[in-house]
Structure formats: C-alpha cells, structure tokens
Structure 1
C-alpha cells in the first residue's frame, strides 16, 4: 500500500512540474526528439514552438558543442564524380568518426555559409542561382525566393548568411558590384533577405563605404573559406583594402547591416604571410604563418574598442609553411585535443605548438569540406519548410 502511494505521488509530482522546469529539460533534447515531443501534449507543443525556446535550445547546444565536443558536417565528393553527387556525414572533431546521425546524399550544392546550425545551400539550375536554407539536425529545408540580382551579375554575387541578435532574425545578404566597362564604381548591389517575412529588400548605394573598397569586400565574402560567424557578425579578411598590401578584417554586422574594418597585425620582419580566420572560444582569431614566424592574434574589446592581442608565437618551419600554402583556400577550425590546440583543415589536424600534421578521416573521400554542426530547431514550424527526402534529388 505504501509503495503504491509512493508511485502515485511520484506521478502526480511529475505531471505538475512547473513549465519553467519543463522548458529547461526539453531545451537539452536533440532537435528530432523535440519534433516528436510536440505531439505528446499541448503544453509541450507550446513550449517547443515558442521562438524564445528555439533560441534557448540553440544556446545550450552551442555550450555543449565546445572545443572538445565539436561536431562537423563533412561534405565528401569523390574525385571521379566531382561536382555532381555529395555524401554528407556528421563527424566528431576528436576522432573524425561518424556519429549515429544519417544524412541524405544529394546532388551537389555549394555551401556559401552556415550560422547557428542553419546552412545556406546554393546551386545553378538552368543558369539561375537556387538558394536553400537547410537545417540538417531536423532534416528540413526552405527554398529562398530568387534574389533581385541584375541578370549579368547572376554568377558573381556573394551570399552571406547571418543572425541579428537584437531582433533574433536570420538574414541572407547578397553583395556584388558592377565592373562592366563604362559603369561607375559606386554601383554596388546590396540586398537583404529576412527569414521572418521571406522576402528580399534592395539596399542599393546605401553603404557608408569608399567605392574603392567595393571589389575587395565582394571577393572577401565571395569565398566562404575566408569567413567566420560570431555574435551577430560575419568576419572576413581582405588584402589591399586601402592600398599598401595590408590585410584587413572586414566585419559585417547583421543588426545594422554595416561594414567595419580593422587592420590585421603582423610582425615587421615578415615577408609573404598566409592568414586564416577561426573562432577561439568567444573571440575571432587570426592564424598567421610565414617562412620565419607563426603567430595567433585574438580580437579583444578594450574600453569599447577592438584591439588585437598576441596569443601565441613561435618560429615556423618550411614544412609548416608548405602545408598551409597547399591548403590556402581551405577553412580552419580550432579544436582542443589531449595534446594541445589544433587547427583542423579538411582531413588533417595541425598541432599549433609542435607543428605536427596528422592525417584524419582516412576512410573519407578525397575532397572534403567541413562545416560546423549544431543542433537547431530553426525552420521546424511556420516557414513552410520541406523534408529533405522531398527536396534534394538523389542519384
């Protein structure tokens, strides 16, 4: 009798947990599990569908997806079939082994950017650029309306995906400029797509930027291997922004939709230097390597101003320099291994302190592109997103 009363009391307490406690419990569940939990009861459905819950869920997932637990989506393309069919797998940073998540293989899309677990996918269809927002954790994607790009600029437009923290709004910003002979250099095309209303707005000639910088801005964002997203800004790097062969960090703020520029430091005795942007903790960092020196500079806020702090420095070797020269257009990710900090580049890891390079993912296909993976509920409701199987064509 006492045992039965104890069970009854437990069930009653479980049923009447405050919604705040249920919110914290559910926010720690995987995205696909939460989609099933929406059918359990109306209170759970109401919690999961709340935009604030979607944001909380993402914050907790990002906290868990730290340097040691980092996951990637690996886009693998075989050498003999490059440009058509792509195999996607989710892999751990420490071992490069596949997780239990299975993703659809589909006709090859480019990946201009990713942000908060949301991917921007791009491909040409009958000479037109098709854009999709894709969430791999819940297997849903959304077709983006055609961007109002002038037809002669269709193939040379940079699409940048980001998130505006103040409005909790996901945006795609399209950037290009017209360098057709006879055009004025101030003719820069700038359009913004907002996920909430699913439409584009043209912002032509509203940028407070020198016209001489347009070309450098465009090319820096046209190559996604040079960009990183952090705290509402997509950062990239450019050379010769104001002349003088100096590197600059370009930051595109998704709240204000404005650019800011900051010179990237270097040692005075450096000759040819290669640089890669990456995220180090909660800061943007720049890895620099020449035949003489290796250094890492971290961007900090001091008295309201952005300043560079030297975080690491050592002499470099010819082998290290040649490794990064060979991977000039590959993106770098920071990972904290048992042997110290590493940069992951394609299927290899580079130990920052020792300079040793280790082959990873030997079973993977030859051409591999990595994109940071995060659990997210974005697109699960209210946008008309489709399931993966209904969208991505499979060979």
Structure 2
C-alpha cells in the first residue's frame, strides 16, 4: 500500500533548505491526534464509518485522500462495505436525481440518504442498465435513436465513456459485468440481429463473438458471481440465458417446470437471494421465490392481500423484510407479519422510477 502523505494544520515554512529535526518535531506536534495513529488503525476506523461520512473524510486532508484513493485499500474497504440501493426518482418541484439509500436501522437519519450527481441531458433519457462492484452502467437514449454509454462511480464522481459499436442499433440489449480471473470489466451489446459484441474496458475496441439463437426478453441484465443473466423467450419457451463474462460463452438454464401453474402470472424477474440466483414469479396477490443452488428450489411464497401488481423484488434484508418497487413507491414487506409499509426517509424522493442494488466503492475508474 502506498505511503500516505502528511496532513498539515497549516503550510510549513519554506526556509530554503532541508527540514531540521526541530522542524520535523514541530510538524509532528501540529498534526491532529488522529493523524498520529498507525495506518492500519486508521484504515480499520475507515472500514466502520458510513459511506456518506467516509465520502466527506476524503476531503479533510491529503493523508486521508491518499488512503481512500489507494487501490489496495479501496479493494479491502469494498469487501467490508454493506450493500445499499441506488434509487432514481424525484420530488416535485425538485428535478429528478439518483440517491444512495441505506435502510439499515443502525444508521442515523443523516447517513441514510445521499444524493448523487448524474449526467442527465435535456434532450435524452438516462437509464441504469447494470451495476457491478460499485460501478453503474448508464445508457443515454437520445431522440435520434443513438446511444451514449458510460460507466460511473457515484462515490468518486468519475465517469468513463464507452464508445458505441460501429454497427448502429436502435434498441440494443446491454449488459455489464466483471471477469474475476482476468480482473477486467466487460460491456455486452446485442443488436437486433442477435449479434453479440464485447467491449473490454480499457481496450478501446469492440469484438464480435457470434450470434444468439434467441433474443433476451429483458433489456436490463442481472450480474452475479461472474455471470450475466437475461430471461430469454424463443417461440413459446421461457428460460434463463447466462453469459460467462470470463469465458465469453452463453449457456441456458431451464426454469423449474412447475413455476407456471395458472394464468395469473403477471410478471417474472431475476434477482439475488443470499448470493444465489433467484427467480421471482409475480402473480396478482402473491410472489413465488425459486432459488438456484444445485437445482431450482421453491424457497418461499409471499402473500399480500393488497396485491403486488407486478412489483419487482429488489432485495431481502437481514431483518426478514423484502424490499419491492410497487408503482412509484419503495415498499418494505415484513415476512413475519405479512404487512408492508412505504419507505419514508429524510431526503428520500417522493416518486421512484427505478432502483438498483449497489455496494459503494472508492476504487477509481482509472485503476480498472
């Protein structure tokens, strides 16, 4: 890990020569007490600070900024950071924006919601197409049908433009994931001809690797443990199409045979349940949750007399609550009591357009 710099309480005096022992001792006493701590103690403290507070710590002094910019430390910090949600929404008359939202009960109200800066133009619509390891993959759809793709780290405020493939496409299927062995990030672009193009971040070029036998149904991907997943629908069949980001190969996962039991299925989606791929079957008044371990297993049935009406499940919390996006509201459903409440926090948008799971990262886009 690179050596941290000294954070001075005021600029040192320039005496035109190397610092003497007296200068070094004076400088040592002028530093705040917390800066006398060994680096490993400071880093351990940082790992316990909420993301919003840690974001402001980076602006305190050069020493802390250097620590929170070190690639090795940011990777370690990421491994110990709790996940949260990125919410896209608005409150009239305020403009739309993106918010980092923690729903943990041990955080203060000031740390629960953090508004992020986003690049949203007047002549376009900005969509989150994926997230992976703290990075968000954005797609800006312009009125002329063109796309501007870019990656963003909402914590560091950095963004990186991803060029379009040379072959234009009005409604591409997009994906963003991480290859854990090569330690590279890749963007997937599938055009209307089902041709698959891969862009390795940092390479500057697109590569075509072949074509799909069927078109993925959803325009947003789901990344988990080195794979990108889409729900595919060739003819009258529905299955999960999985893309190995490392090997750049597709494979098919057959869905459980008994998931379609009646004609009341309103919607279905993919998600993450305790690190495993989950398949959510949403009916008018209940949701069935299937989990892929060695095979598909029906994990639980969520019933709601007030009707889910297609509400996608975002995450299961440790308090046995289910976070869902119903209409334009974020709802917390209690599995123990079968009751649900609308999420209301200071600074939280009144109307929610979309929400994604995200683990915040201080890793710079320049280091990937």
Given the superposition, is the C-alpha separation of residues 268 and 373 from structure 1 closer, same or farther in structure 2, using an over 3 Å criterion?
closer
Given the superposition, is the C-alpha separation of residues 25 and 361 from structure 1 closer, same or farther in structure 2, using an over 3 Å criterion?
closer
- Structure 2 counterpart of 1:370: 355
For residues 281-337 of structure 1, give each alpha carbon's deviation from its aligned partner in whole angstroms, at most 9, with x where no partner exists: 11111222446975321111xxxxx411222247x56643xx233x4xxx4212326
**C-alpha contact 1:275 1:287 (8 A) present in aligned 2:** yes
- Structure 1 counterpart of 2:11: none
Q: Quick one: which of 261, 266, 269 aligns to 2:252?
A: 261
Offset at residue 132 of structure 1 (A):
1.6
- Structure 1 counterpart of 2:24: none
Distance 1:38 1:158 in 2: 43
**C-alpha contact 1:291 1:318 (8 A) present in aligned 2:** no
Given the superposition, is the C-alpha separation of residues 133 and 34 from structure 1 closer, same or farther in structure 2, using an over 3 Å criterion?
farther
- Structure 2 counterpart of 1:284: 277
Offset at residue 265 of structure 1 (A):
1.1
TM-score normalised by the chain length of structure 1: 0.67
Alignment partner of 1:76 is 2:73: no
Given the superposition, is the C-alpha separation of residues 200 and 354 from structure 1 closer, same or farther in structure 2, using an over 3 Å criterion?
farther
Unaligned runs of 5+ in 1: 1-6, 66-70, 179-187, 301-305, 384-395
TM-score normalised by the chain length of structure 2: 0.72
- Which of the pair is proportionally richer in helix? 1
For residues 329-368 of structure 1, give each alpha carbon's deviation from its aligned partner in whole angstroms, at most 9, with x where no partner exists: xx42123264x33132252233446543322238633343
Q: Give the aligned CA root-mean-square deviation in angstroms.
A: 3.8
Equivalent position SS for 2:354: strand
Offset at residue 57 of structure 1 (A):
2.4
Unaligned runs of 5+ in 2: 1-27
Distance 2:304 2:55 in 1: 47
Distance 1:234 1:198 in 2: 20
Alignment partner of 1:172 is 2:172: no
**C-alpha contact 2:244 2:250 (8 A) present in aligned 1:** yes
Distance 1:293 1:39 in 2: 53
Q: Quick one: which of 182, 195, 198 aligns to 1:192?
A: 198
Q: How does 1:374-389 map to 2 (within 5 A)?
A: 374-379=359-364, 381=366
Distance 1:268 1:76 in 2: 33
Given the superposition, is the C-alpha separation of residues 93 and 264 from structure 1 closer, same or farther in structure 2, using an over 3 Å criterion?
farther
- Aligned residue pairs total 321
Q: Quick one: which of 223, 227, 231 aligns to 1:229?
A: 223
Given the superposition, is the C-alpha separation of residues 54 and 198 from structure 1 closer, same or farther in structure 2, using an over 3 Å criterion?
farther
- Structure 2 counterpart of 1:334: 315
